[in-house]
Amino acid sequence: RYQSLGYNRVLEIHKEHLSPVVTAYFQKPLLLHQGHMEWLFDAEGNRYLDFFSGIVTVSVGHCHPKVNAVAQKQLGRLWHTSTVFFHPPMHEYAEKLAALLPEPLKVIFLVNSGSEANELAMLMARAHSNNIDIISFRGAYHGSSPYTLGLTNVGAYKMELPGGTGCQPTMCPDVFRGPWGGSHCRDSPVQTIRKCSCAPDCCQAKDQYIEQFKETLSTSVAKSIAGFFAEPIQGVNGVVQYPKGFLKEAFELVRARGGVCIADEVQTGFGRLGSHFWGFQTHDVLPDIVTMAKGIGNGFPMAAVVTTPEIAKSLAKRLQHFNTFGGNPMACAIGSAVLEVIKEENLQENSQEVGTYMLLKFAKLRDEFEIVGDVRGKGLMIGIEMVQDKISRRPLPREEVNQIHEDCKHMGLLVGRGSIFSQTFRIAPSMCITKPEVDFATEVFRSALSQHMERRAK
Ligand code: PMP
């Protein structure tokens, strides 16, 4: 335990010195003191099952013993060099990461955050294509730096100033919220309750969304494009999945107009989706650039951009790139340990097995409660969307979702939030969680939802 600061003093300092632009969960934000694997402990020693892993970041568990041991060893050896010098952890890491990606994705740029990775990817797309316009989905979150804010299309993060030059939003092919539905259109063990008329092996919803995508491409500003960014499953927007086959067709259309395709794997990468190591593989596409962060360092600041030798060359012809902390020895040693742990502990397989188990359990909650409109996702990236009723699909008001969120916390379960009106619970625990922990989480949700239905009935 830290002895120095009590909760009230922390609140005072927070109010005085930390910016109100950064918001926290809960009426009484948690003051965390310790973490161990999938568990967190607050200042009073209460423990919480962490089902959001520091926003989809602690991939292999808080303070994982192997990762900690590697970090400590590196701490005593060499912390910092800057990119002008070489050191073995960087080269070992680059080789290990490249081996996990399909050819020709093998040139790696190491940076420190997802926003930085996506900024660099934007630059690469423009340098390689000699075009300006970049397309991203409505509801996409690709970063909060001024350049990536052009790609991020979530209202709360935007300022009433022109966005990044040449950034164009396009309709998100959202199977649950979009206009065309699609009861069997998404890649998940659980399908949406929204009916569609097409057979399981065709997808009219996808065709409709592709028509919309073509319309974006044909508008005058985006006739020739630099690139198209997509999260394989949208995270911040509430775990939104696209109809099967959509990304494949969209990638072809983008390339036909001279653009490159960028998969933002900041949330979906490193085995979280279970069936595949990378989210793009679940769409059967090969991107030109892949960006990654969060889970790459299990919470240590680290991020990467991986691309083809050809695109890397296009950037190198145009500018010199320097990054003080990118690829530092600490991050690279930790990144290598994370990759080893994922393999040694079969965490991708665990994501698949425990994630599917959880999705099927949550689907039962959806069938039990009128206010659970949708359960979706893949592996350990799951969304539970709260609605006023299943027919209208109107979002449950934020205050009501807040209350359910608080109730889960009081019962020892931490989950995240997403979607435009914050109506979706997001679940993305460390990949080491177990089925008994899922059973516990399901019962906590069931209890919180029952309490809420009782409140509503009064
Ligand atoms: N891309 C995605 C998909 C993200 O979810 C985020 C962070 N929420 C980012 C990029 C930006 O990452 P960072 O916060 O590390 O800048």
CATH of the domain at 31: 3.90.1150.10
Q: Who contacts 164 (Cβ-Cβ below 8 Å, separation ≥6)? A: 122, 146, 147, 148, 149, 150, 151
Look at residue 58 and tell me if it is in a domain.
Answer: no
Look at residue 64 and tell me if it is in a domain.
Answer: no
Distance 338 CA to ligand 1 centre (A): 19
Note whether 151 and 164 are within 8 A (CB). Answer: yes
Cis peptide before 232 (omega within 30 of 0): no
Look at residue 380 and tell me if it is in a domain.
Answer: yes
Q: At residue 2, does pLDDT exceed 70?
A: no
Both 440 and 328 in one domain: the answer is no
Q: How many CB atoms lie within 10 A of CB 423?
A: 23
Mutate to test the pocket of ligand 1, among 154, 266, 291, 419 (most ligand atoms within 8 A of CB): 266
Residue 205 token pair: 């919803």
Would you say the CB of residue 236 lies under 6 angstroms from ligand 1?
yes
Distance 49 CA to ligand 1 centre (A): 23
pLDDT at site 255 = 97
Both 435 and 286 in one domain: the answer is no
Strand 133-137 and strand 167-170: the pairing is parallel
pLDDT at site 54 = 93
Question: ipTM of the assembly?
Answer: 0.99
Please provide the DSSP assignment of 373-416 as one string.
EEEEEETTEEEEEEBS-TTT-PBPPHHHHHHHHHHHHHTTEE-E
Strand 424-427 and strand 416-418: the pairing is antiparallel
Nearest protein Cα to ligand 1, atom 10: 142
- How many angstroms separate the most distant Cα atoms in the chain? 68
- The CATH number of the domain holding residue 222 is 3.40.640.10
Distance 343 CA to ligand 1 centre (A): 24
Closest C-alpha to 39, from 64, 18, 21: 64
**Range 418-439 average pLDDT:** 98
Both 120 and 179 in one domain: the answer is yes
Would you say the CB of residue 293 lies under 6 angstroms from ligand 1?
yes
Both 200 and 278 in one domain: the answer is yes
How many domains does the chain contain in total? 2
Handedness of CA 221, 222, 223, 225 (dihedral sign): positive
Distance CA 362, CA 367 (A): 9
Residue 300 token pair: 């240590």
Both 154 and 291 in one domain: the answer is yes
Both 164 and 182 in one domain: the answer is yes
Atom index in ligand 1 nearest the CA of residue 293 equals 15
Both 276 and 317 in one domain: the answer is yes
Q: How far is CA 92 from CA 103, 108, 295, 322, 331, in A?
A: 18, 12, 18, 20, 12
Q: At residue 357, does pLDDT exceed 70?
A: yes
The C-alpha angle with vertex 230 and arms to 225 and 235, in degrees rounded to 5, equals: 150
Q: At residue 272, does pLDDT exceed 60?
A: yes
Look at residue 56 and tell me if it is in a domain.
Answer: no
Distance 457 CA to ligand 1 centre (A): 39
Over the stretch 408-421, which tens digit does the pLDDT of each residue have? 999 999 999 999 99
Both 79 and 174 in one domain: the answer is yes
Would you say the CB of residue 142 lies under 6 angstroms from ligand 1?
yes
Both 311 and 393 in one domain: the answer is no
pLDDT at site 156 = 86
Would you say the CB of residue 429 lies under 6 angstroms from ligand 1?
no
Domain boundary among 276, 310, 344: 344
Distance CA 396, CA 385 (A): 9
Atom index in ligand 1 nearest the CA of residue 145 equals 16
**Ramachandran category for residue 396: left, alpha or beta (phi over 0 → left; psi -120 to 50 → alpha):** beta
Mutate to test the pocket of ligand 1, among 119, 122, 141, 270 (most ligand atoms within 8 A of CB): 141
DSSP annotation of 149 reads: G
Q: At residue 247, does pLDDT exceed 80?
A: yes
Over the stretch 102-152, which tens digit does the pLDDT of each residue have? 999 999 999 999 999 999 999 999 999 999 999 999 999 999 998 999 999
pLDDT at site 383 = 98
Would you say the CB of residue 279 lies under 6 angstroms from ligand 1?
no
Distance CA 136, CA 229 (A): 5
Look at residue 402 and tell me if it is in a domain.
Answer: yes
CA quadruple 153, 157, 160, 164: dihedral, nearest 10: -50
Domain boundary among 344, 374, 394: 344
Both 73 and 169 in one domain: the answer is yes
Q: By mean pLDDT, which of 52-61, 91-100, 216-225, 385-394 is the weakest? A: 216-225
Note whether 409 and 424 are within 8 A (CB). Answer: no
Would you say the CB of residue 141 lies under 6 angstroms from ligand 1?
yes
Task: Enter the pTM of the model.
Answer: 0.97
Look at residue 419 and tell me if it is in a domain.
Answer: yes
Instruction: Name the 3-class secondary structure at 84.
Output: coil
Q: How far is CA 446 from CA 29, 368, 372, 450, in A?
A: 23, 9, 11, 6
Distance 4 CA to ligand 1 centre (A): 32
Distance 142 CA to ligand 1 centre (A): 5
Domain extent at residue 371? 7-51+346-457
Instruction: Name the 3-class secondary structure at 234.
Output: strand
pLDDT band of 3, cuts 50, 70, 90:
low
Nearest protein Cα to ligand 1, atom 14: 114
Kind and range of the H or E run holding 316: helix 309-318
Residue whose tokens read 């012809």 = 317
Mutate to test the pocket of ligand 1, among 142, 145, 149, 426 (most ligand atoms within 8 A of CB): 142
Distance 56 CA to ligand 1 centre (A): 10
The number of residues making up the chain comes to 458
Would you say the CB of residue 444 lies under 6 angstroms from ligand 1?
no
Mean pLDDT of the chain: 95
**Range 171-200 average pLDDT:** 91
Look at residue 415 and tell me if it is in a domain.
Answer: yes
Would you say the CB of residue 54 lies under 6 angstroms from ligand 1?
no
Both 239 and 371 in one domain: the answer is no
Please provide the DSSP assignment of 420-432 as one string.
TTS-EEEE---TT
Would you say the CB of residue 437 lies under 6 angstroms from ligand 1?
no
Domain boundary among 344, 368, 399: 344
Distance CA 9, CA 11 (A): 5
Both 373 and 322 in one domain: the answer is no
Would you say the CB of residue 114 lies under 6 angstroms from ligand 1?
yes
